[in-house]
Amino acid sequence: MQYISTRGGTLGQFSDVLLEGLAPNGGLAVPEHLPRLGADDLERLRVLTYPQLATEIIGLFATDIPRQDLARLTDAAYGDGKFAAEEVVPLTAIDDLTLVGLSEGPTLAFKDMAMQFLGQALEYVLENRDGVLNVVGATSGDTGSAAEHALRGLDRVSVFMLSPQGRMSAFQRAQMYSLQDENVHNIVVEGVFDDCQNLVKRLNTDLDFKRAHSIGAVNSINFGRISAQIVYYVWAWLRATDAIAEADRSSHHVSFAVPSGNFGNILSGHYARTMGVPIRRLVLATNENNVLDEFFRTGQYRPRTSADTLATSSPSMDVSRASNLERFVFDLLGRDPERTAAAWHELEERDEIDLSAELGRFEAEFGIVSGTSTHDDRLATIRDVHERTGVTIDPHTADGVKIAREQLEDGIPMLVLETAKPAKFADLIQEALGESPELDADTRALLDAPQRVVEMPDDEQQLRAYISERALHA
């Protein structure tokens, strides 16, 4: 399978885009054609374990990796002991909703689902090419820790992870900053997540710097992560329809509610739906930084400035400029790279894109609806779910549950993607329930561990100098 840029041009195969990050013209890598899954294909996948399913689904995109090698990589990512749940992704009923458990991995967040595979795949490709990679990424909370825990200690990879000062929970900071591995560099930027993300983008679009220092990305602009996230949409549909008579399964649709910040998670659902998984709706849930909700309600995309990006109690979604939206707009505009490039030129010129002419297609063609959740909504939802079911959910999942309840349809199961364990947000759980999640000995030790971090202003030249001094070279 070949990959192209959303703004034009060919990029190579899966292994190439795995290492590339942003395309040279600033676009994002997308498959030249999305593969299709028919009813027979889905039934064939039903009997597979999660690692086996990952091999089959990712294998549709990673056609340049021999199947036996890919099976070894997915087994290393999702096999025995890597995830707390034996099935890797458990489904749990809570009243009229079903939680899709994506936070059973080493950092207790859904980012582990893709990052564990990405770490294996990067090491495999770099060994085959005798290369190195310096990952420069930005995190609003969970991406950073998942990336660092997947890549720590690797000989051929260094990680430079930018995070916004004072915008993450104590648990999230501890998971990242307590790592002492020499190949992990945590950089706290004076600003918000979008400032961190903008620094990363500027380095990625400087082709000379990028090539000189072998710069790559592991946030959700990396298509390797998107392909791995498609897997759990397929898995969740299969498990949700296991009890349905085989003759009726192919027409049995479900909906997914997805807490959304950078649009990577729900984009994977969009691809799964386009490939043929019977998904009725993709319900996008935002917090008070509701730029995406505004876009899907009005067709107007107006990213906020750093000063206008709010610090909320679901901090991983404090994003005002969603990188992956470009991939969706590419599909919305008929996969036309010229129209997509023009839209992003308009964004750079005017700080907004007007796609209101396409508004009627968002739900009718792509099944996407949206809503906004607030701090008070999160508290009320966490409290209500706990009282009704005994299950404690984290604030981001609460955003998803709140909006999911507004979009329920008769006869259509609603699956909510769980994003993290509540222990990562103990202060909010305390506020909602009057008691914090019980911390085990490992968590207490993590919070007390010494932290290693560098503080830096929002300064591109200072960041360049820091990376240049510490980057790996082949």
Question: Which of the four pLDDT bands, split at 50, 70 and 90, describes residue 245?
Answer: confident
Q: What is the mean pLDDT of residues 30-55?
A: 97
β 254-259/157-164 pair status? unpaired
Domain membership flag for residue 319: yes
Where in the sequence is the domain holding 339, given as residue range(s)? Answer: 91-106+232-433
Q: What is the CATH number of the domain that holds 268?
A: 3.40.50.1100
Q: Which residues make Cβ contacts (< 8 Å) with residue 401, sequence separation at least 6? A: 94, 97, 257, 381, 385, 393, 416
The pLDDT score that the predictor gives to residue 446 is 80
The pLDDT score that the predictor gives to residue 298 is 98
Consecutive H or E run containing 12: strand 10-12
Q: With 80 as the cut, is the pLDDT of residue 201 above it?
A: yes
Q: With 80 as the cut, is the pLDDT of residue 170 above it?
A: yes
Domain membership flag for residue 26: no
What spatial distance separates the first Cα and last Cα of the chain, rounded to whole Å? 28
Cα 321 to Cα 335: distance, rounded to the nearest angstrom: 21
Question: Which of the four pLDDT bands, split at 50, 70 and 90, describes residue 424?
Answer: confident
Q: Give me the catalytic one of 82, 111, 210, 424.
A: 111
Q: With 90 as the cut, is the pLDDT of residue 463 above it?
A: yes
Cα 121 to Cα 288: distance, rounded to the nearest angstrom: 36
C-alpha dist (Å) from residue 412 to 16, 97, 281: 39, 10, 9
Domain membership flag for residue 139: no
Please give the DSSP secondary-structure letter assigned to residue 317. G
Q: Are 320 and 304 in contact (CB under 8 A)?
A: yes
Domain membership flag for residue 210: no
Domain membership flag for residue 182: no
Q: Comparing C-alpha atoms, which of 344, 42, 452, 89 is closest to residue 236?
A: 89
Q: Comparing C-alpha atoms, which of 18, 286, 252, 15 is closest to residue 135?
A: 18
The pLDDT score that the predictor gives to residue 157 is 95
Instruction: Give the DSSP letter string of 328-364.
Output: HHHHHTTT-HHHHHHHHHHHHHHS-EE-GGGTTHHHH
424 classed as catalytic: no
3-state secondary structure of 365: coil
The pLDDT score that the predictor gives to residue 449 is 87
Number of domains in the chain: 1
Least confident residue range of 68-77, 214-223, 319-328, 350-359: 214-223
Q: Is the dihedral of CA 424, 223, 417, 233 positive or negative?
A: negative
CA Rg value for the chain: 21
C-alpha dist (Å) from residue 400 to 267, 381, 436: 15, 10, 21
Least confident residue range of 196-205, 224-233, 364-373: 196-205
For the stretch 98-139, pLDDT in tens is 999 999 998 889 999 999 999 999 999 999 999 999 999 888
Q: With 80 as the cut, is the pLDDT of residue 140 above it?
A: no
3-state secondary structure of 87: coil
Residue type, 96: D
Domain membership flag for residue 384: yes
Q: What is the mean pLDDT of residues 307-325?
A: 91
The pLDDT score that the predictor gives to residue 39 is 94
Question: Which of the four pLDDT bands, split at 50, 70 and 90, describes residue 435?
Answer: confident
Question: Which of the four pLDDT bands, split at 50, 70 and 90, describes residue 22?
Answer: confident
Domain membership flag for residue 395: yes
Q: With 80 as the cut, is the pLDDT of residue 442 above it?
A: no
Domain membership flag for residue 449: no
Q: What is the mean pLDDT of residues 418-447?
A: 86
